[in-house]
Structure 1
């Protein structure tokens, strides 16, 4: 049984690549936001990606993943280690959340901030703040590394990810389980 966490900032390709690769490598792909929304029956974040009820959302995510693990032996869960709260402040998620998800490994996707900004502008419309993306990416990377070190989780970092590089990383992590 394995739960691989696919981390990275909005627009780095978690959903796009995760969805395309999952079936080919024999895992089921879920987004943390999808599971939280299903578990709670509502979303607690807006189009600005600021999140209220961070703690309640993580409890809902843990419950949802626990249920999915009973049905699916190999899960690719995409989400974040750091979010902006309702005030726009970068907020690292508690390490306990990742412990309770019973992760078998983490894959962090990274990309140049200006490329992410272009993707987000095309996907969501409107201007995107490259500095805010860089700030979030740095915080995400630092917290991912800290959590993985403390919990003894294998970490794979993929810069400018492709379907092939993500497939290889997932296959390596699922082969060790």
Structure 2
């Protein structure tokens, strides 16, 4: 991939919807980290959101990204800064992954926990603990800030509950992504 913009957020925050809107507006390629991993592994993820082999999967992601042929100058990768491991704990994606994929910018999508709960229950037909989701979102947000600082790249925190989509579009345009 040429210039990668990494967009993360917890399950059910609305990343895919936002990514689809971005892709319909700008000239960039769009990839899902989970789809890349699934394709390289030739295995589907379970709907439980519990990932037993988080670090191993990241090697598949890196391999898949290296073998991806982008059409546009910029690519958007929908993924996570943290995941839920098989022990039901929040686990950070290892730093080396972000070193290897070389993002030029990070976007973290956050939202009200009550809204995320409704989306997840509708989409997955599962009940989720709101306190756990709150902790998960906090960990993801703080880790995205850490990574942006460590990699010395811009970070856009996009809060769906309060931010205008214009803020997100301005950030992407300022990166040099054309329409």
Partner of 1:6: 7
Determine if contact 1:4/1:173 at 8 Å carries over to the other structure.
no
1:100: Cα distance to partner?
0.4
Partner of 1:133: 133
Determine if contact 1:12/1:110 at 8 Å carries over to the other structure.
yes
Partner of 2:52: 52
Structure 1 residues 125 and 162: alpha-carbon distance in aligned structure 2, compared to 1, 3 A threshold = farther
Indicate whether 1:27 and 2:31 are aligned.
no
Partner of 2:61: 61
1:71: Cα distance to partner?
4.7
Q: For structure 2, which runs of at least 5 residues remain unmatched after alignment?
A: none
TM-score by length of 2: 0.89
Indicate whether 1:155 and 2:149 are aligned.
no
Indicate whether 1:167 and 2:176 are aligned.
no
TM-score by length of 1: 0.90
Most deviating of 157-166 and 121-130? 157-166
Determine if contact 1:20/1:163 at 8 Å carries over to the other structure.
no
Give distance in 2, aligned partners of 1:166 and 1:37. 29
Indicate whether 1:38 and 2:39 are aligned.
yes
Most deviating of 98-107 and 19-28? 19-28
Give distance in 2, aligned partners of 1:111 and 1:125. 20
Partner SS, residue 104 of structure 1: strand
Q: CA RMSD in A?
A: 1.9
Q: For structure 1, which runs of at least 5 residues remain unmatched after alignment?
A: none
Partner SS, residue 68 of structure 1: coil
CA deviation string 1:44-97 (max 9, x = no partner): x42120102212210111111122255543110011111111111111111110
Total equivalences in the alignment: 175
More helix by share: 1
Give distance in 1, aligned partners of 2:11 and 2:39. 20
Partner of 1:18: 19
